[in-house]
Amino acid sequence: MTPDQSGFLPFLLILLATTQLLVACTTLKDRHINQRQPSFAISRDTPTRLRQLAYTPPDDLPDASGFVLLDSGMDALSSRLWLADQAEKSLDVQYYIFHGDKTGAVVADSLLRAAQRGVRVRVLLDDIYVFENESNILALDSQPNLEIRVFNAFRHRGGNPLVRLSQFLVDGDRLNRRMHNKLFIADNQYGITGGRNIGDEYFQAHEEFGFIDLDVLTSGPVVDEMSKAFDDYWNSNAVVPVRAIPGYKRARQQLPALGEALSNARKSMEATPYWKALQARPLSAQFQSGEFYWLDGVAHAVVDPPEKIDGGLHISDLLLGQMIGLRVDPEEELMIVSPYFVPGKIGMDWLAYLRSRNVNIKVLTNSLAANDVPLVHAGYARYREPLLDMGVELFELKPLPNTSPKRKNLAGSGSSRSSLHAKTFVFDRKRAFIGSFNFDPRSALLNTELGLVIDSPIIAEIVALMSGQGMAPLNSHRLSLSNGKDGKNRIVWTSETDQGPVGTDGEPNATRWQRFLMDVLMLLPIEGNL
């Protein structure tokens, strides 16, 4: 046997074993996929209580929408629960992740209750994590007014990691493209979008970990644009109704037990200090009165088309191109907050162009110790020196505890460590982008994303102040270049401590293992997938 043949034999055995696994596992049922029926958002003229409570634009800004910035995870959860409770006609929900934890159960319970009182509930989930709660998802879909569809589905089902890996091996170009959008829309009158998925770590309810994030609650004309974006996904060929997943008939029998379990989960949550704190939030009083402290702004939804997963679209069709079409290029200042920041060649060219025009650029991202995806940090680390060299100001968020009163507005409370997850841009403190888009190749070219570009100096200034708080020495390391004894540039991290400003020339707060892992990961040629 030749060396080539000896190397081929193990590969053949793996291929045969994988084929047997795929044959043995269950697959989507085509007849249900083909029976997918289109549906669309209700008219904003439909009489509902939320229409009565909807934002009214001022006379001098007739095209404006109203906005409430949700920098608190508690406010972000209570907003969703309030919309679910108030909806009379429709709820449209779209997420990359929908956990089955404490807050996930409460949100699911609210959606089920809405469906039981006659509200049409449409839930669209990316399929990447559906297998974790597949039986419950199938059971919920059996409620007549509640329909769930999954985006970019895995054809072969089950939680076997080898089955999922084998599908990535044979269909990786498609399955590597995920739906990262976040939407929660009630009666086509109110909507929420931003960086948060559904889960304890997004709503300050996780005991050990939390995300610093930003959503926006809105009412007005821009909600129509958000609903259209949802409809485009809901009716696209990239989605599959969950009734096509094997086991659907059996799961229908589980709905009564699941409904009781969700109701009990809500009762348990309502007995916790967390729930009491939730009810004590100032925004909860606004929900009770129906009178909101709206911020005015003219906004547009920018969204990748669902066809992005097929590749081949021109950049003008993508979210990035839509933002360019809105002429958001700054003239004086650009502030970027992105937990995963890998600019790539296109991003570096754009930032270099702005710096050539003397635009001040500030970037806040996670430090290695705060980053929950080390692989992405390795991709970012390659760009730190050239970014600093061109004059970009870089700030890396520390792994913040949520106990300091000085950090309460930034990080909230309820977890022992926080990591940045908000995705925002501020252009000249006149316009702001809030959405799901990270400044990395994955968001730009692979995943689908959604956000709002809001033309409002007041909102832009508030988002800039939030960003500045994150960049403060107490919360972040500021990076700079220093000339070493060997004549080479080295990066220095400077931050505030009890003893005053302290600088270090190594990844701060990181373990030796984390630093070693970074050195290894930086050698991998995988930037296009980050």
Rounded CA-CA distance 124/248 in Å is 17
Residue 182 a catalytic site member:
yes
> By the 8 A CB rule, do 149 and 123 touch?
yes
Residue 423 a catalytic site member:
yes
Residue 428 a catalytic site member:
yes
HEC string for 17-50: HHHHHHHHCCECCHHHHHCCCCCCCCCCCCCCHH
DSSP 8-state symbol, 294: P
Residue 187 a catalytic site member:
yes
Residue 424: strand pairing partners = 337, 434
225 Cβ contact partners less than 8 Å away, ≥ 6 residues apart: 300, 301
Tokens 């469906």 locate to: 115
433 Cβ contact partners less than 8 Å away, ≥ 6 residues apart: 302, 323, 328, 424, 425, 426, 427, 451, 452, 453, 454
Rounded CA-CA distance 56/52 in Å is 10
Give the angle subtended at the CA of 410 by the CAs of 204 and 108, to the nearest 5°. 25
Hey, what amino acid is at 285?
A: A
Catalytic residue among 182, 300, 398, 477: 182
The tokens for 450 are 């959604």
> By the 8 A CB rule, do 435 and 195 touch?
yes
Rounded CA-CA distance 414/72 in Å is 11
Contacts 24+ apart (CB under 8 A), 283-290: 283/68, 283/72, 283/75, 283/78, 283/79, 284/78, 287/78, 287/79, 287/82, 290/53
Task: Output phi, psi for 150, to 5 deg.
Answer: -115, 145
User: What is the SS3 assignment for 431?
Assistant: strand
Catalytic residue among 156, 362, 377, 421: 421
Rounded CA-CA distance 307/152 in Å is 10
Concatenated DSSP letters of 139-159? HHHTSTTEEEEEES--SB-SS
Catalytic residue among 92, 215, 296, 428: 428
The tokens for 49 are 């209580």
Residue 389 a catalytic site member:
no
Catalytic residue among 89, 99, 156, 180: 180
Longest dimension (CA), the chain: 84
Other beta carbons within 10 Å of 28: 18
| Residue 500 CA to its chain's centroid (Å) | 36
Catalytic residue among 89, 362, 377, 423: 423
> By the 8 A CB rule, do 400 and 417 touch?
yes
> What does each C-alpha distance from 322 to 94, 199, 304 come to in angstroms?
21, 30, 9
Catalytic residue among 109, 187, 304, 440: 187
Per-residue exposure over 109-145, b if at least 16 CB sit within 10 Å of its own CB, e if not: bbbbbbbeeebbbbbbbbbbbbbebbebbbbbbbbeb
Catalytic residues, by residue number, are 180, 182, 187, 421, 423, 428
